[in-house]
């Protein structure tokens, strides 16, 4: 997991205001690597719940025949939460930023790192 941690650290340096970024096993929401400037942040809580949202998004896209699910963007009054599938859907890249940050830049950065992250998956 050292390579994933290294890539997430690099990603974090390119994203202003980052709250967290993590690679999560999609089947059960277990984080396998992650970074946050807040050392006390427990990745497992958002990973498991946003993993459930992601799985429902995949199911909804399949049941409606609206195409293959790739990514999601959720917004609260304080944060943007991104989830992008990796590894053929076995994992996802979870990133959280404050609403004051530029979500378009984050999406571009997630796409930029997707191939390298997939290559480093277990």
Convert the pLDDT of each residue in 49-82 to its tens digit: 999 999 999 999 999 999 999 999 999 999 999 9
User: Which residues have C-beta within 8 Å of that of residue 61, sequence separation ≥ 6?
Assistant: 67, 68, 69
pLDDT for position 73: 95
- What is the three-class DSSP state of 31? strand
Q: Please give the model's pTM, rounded to 2 decimal places.
A: 0.93
Angle at 114 between CA 113 and CA 120, to 5 degrees: 90
Domain locations in the chain as residue ranges: 2-120
pLDDT for position 47: 94
The conformation of residue 89, written as its DSSP 8-state character, comes to G
Tell whether the model's pLDDT for residue 1 goes beyond 80.
Answer: no
| CATH fourth-level superfamily of 2-120 | Dynein light chain 2a, cytoplasmic (3.30.450.30)
């Amino acid at each position: 997991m050292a390579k994933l941690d290294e890539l997430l650290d690099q990603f974090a340096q390119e994203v202003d205001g980052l709250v967290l970024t993590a690679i999560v096993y999609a089947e059960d929401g277990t984080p396998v690597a992650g970074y946050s400037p807040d050392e006390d942040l427990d990745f497992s809580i958002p990973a498991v719940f946003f993993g459930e949202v992601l799985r429902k998004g995949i199911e909804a896209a399949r049941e409606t025949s609206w195409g293959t699910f790739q990514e999601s963007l959720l917004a609260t009054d304080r944060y943007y939460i991104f989830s992008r599938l990796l590894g053929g859907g076995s994992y996802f890249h979870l990133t959280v930023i404050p609403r004051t940050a530029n979500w378009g830049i984050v999406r571009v950065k997630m796409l930029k790192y997707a191939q390298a992250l997939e290559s480093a998956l277990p």
